Structure 1
Amino acid sequence: PGVRQAFEVVDRYQLVNSYGLFRRMTGVGGRPEVVIEGSNDAVTWTEIEFMYKPGNLSAPPPVVTPHQPRLDWQMWFAALGPHTQAPWFTSLMYRLLQGKRDVIELIQTDVSRYPFHQQPPAYLRAHRYRYWFTEPKADGSYPQRWWRRVYDEEFYPIVHLGNTFLDSMLNQYGLKDKSSPRRVSNTTVAQMVRWLRSQVRGVPAPLLIWTLMACSATFSLLQMLLNKTKRAQQTMPACNISEKASNHTDAVAGSCSDLREETCEQQTEEEEEDGAKSEEEVEKSDGDEDREEDRMEKEDIFDESF
């Protein structure tokens, strides 16, 4: 009461919220479960085992996440009250007596595991049990069975096709063969969907969902890597252009350097040639001066002789 009063005080501020999917949870006094049984002679009965909900005492609880097995879940809701609160259960019994494959696959994806896959049962009935997990033995060992159960009561009486009770329930709920015929589409998309359903028929739903999630994650990863590669390829041309420009600059610089070296060599050669020419001219000038002196000496001698 104190917690409830505190919640009412702060409720308008939306600081906290009440917790719980249902007001009253089940399982404290045992988990109620409806077990359907079939027979061909109304004497020997065989339990119809579902894929996910408790039934077989030796079957461990399956891991189904992220799959939500709707029929198994609704069977638990049906077990919380009389069958009149779940009109769909009457339709389920009726379709199983008819041997509808689509309904059977809701119970067992692998139809071969359905005990009446070769021939529909002539009679059906349903009982309600209460299930508990088994506990370790006194010596610490674990029992071979996962579950223990106690019979509670009859949930649905024995029925067969043409049964008065079954027909009255079907008529009361408007379920007896009054479904409108479905229009079959022959478009390409519809045909593809039907083909895909035929290919995955028999595959457990959790495995199928995990496979699709793994494929989606792999595709996303590959797409991310591909986009990364494309971005890297787009940046490569700019780098190549810069590299080419740098190489061109280096080449131009190298050409200028070579040109400067050639110019220097030419200048050196020209200077050497000029130096050689100057020496030749000096030598020639000296020779001319010597000859002029000889001529003048000769003239002086000639004058003296006269």
Structure 2
Amino acid sequence: MGADRGWSIGELAERAGVTVKTVRHYSDRGLLPEAGRSGGGHRRYGPEALERLRLIRSLRTLGLPVPEVARVLADEDGEVLEGVVEGRLRELGAQRAALRWREAALTLVRDCAPEERAERLRLVGAVPVPPSTEALARFWRRWLPPRMPARVVATVLERTVPQPPEDPSTGQVLAFARLHALVAAPCGGGERRQPAAHLADGGHRPAVLYEGLDEAYALAAPSLRAGLAPGAGEALDCFVAAYARSARARDTPAFRRALGRVLAADPRIDAYWELAAEVFGPGHTTAGAAHDWLLAALHTETGPAA
């Protein structure tokens, strides 16, 4: 290459191992620096264009679209590249999760009995891919008392909404699909019955209750995992204290007996917790299981509820 001439578009393409059309495309997008023009007005390129073209090819090989490549090339500090790569990694993670979910769902349909196939197709077909927990979150937002602080709602959702596993088993796919169908089902044509402690006219403070219950469930979880029988202890005391503080009452034997009767009459969503436990996977204690263990501990202490 002469210092006064530079490479033609064909020479640059040959050196870079690409087509002339490719060089022209990137040049037209303003991504390749020109060293000048020939006497006939043709583009000429220097070594900078070759290095730039090699960088563009590397970025395109990694799957970056041309607009993102342009952003990277225009950034002198290298900060844009880091953000673009992170974004691409997130996209690939979502694609990988979707493929794994589809593989497990197809295996679920393939391996079931013929008479089960239609139902399973209906169930898994109703779940978006990659699977979303939005329907489950909406269920809990409807279930929770109104005007709960956002931080308390976030804590409840974290404990109650199982995230789809990255590499799900067929059983987890089926459980999640059934859970999705459960929360999407109508409530029998009427309003969903709420636990007594949710009712504002009872003078309860639900935000106080749920903060205390979160702590009590965490304290009870090791006992459940160890297979211990429900009984007195720190977890039960924390559980009762949450209800007492919510109701602005004192933790007395009479309060515990009354609480046992009230909780025994509360509505239950056992099907939700059974399915959620399967999605969460082995070793996870659901809030429903912890609540039942603590309620059993309360009944052990105060006697069976009426």
Normalised TM-score (structure 1): 0.20
Larger radius of gyration: 1
**Which structure features the higher share of helix residues?**
2
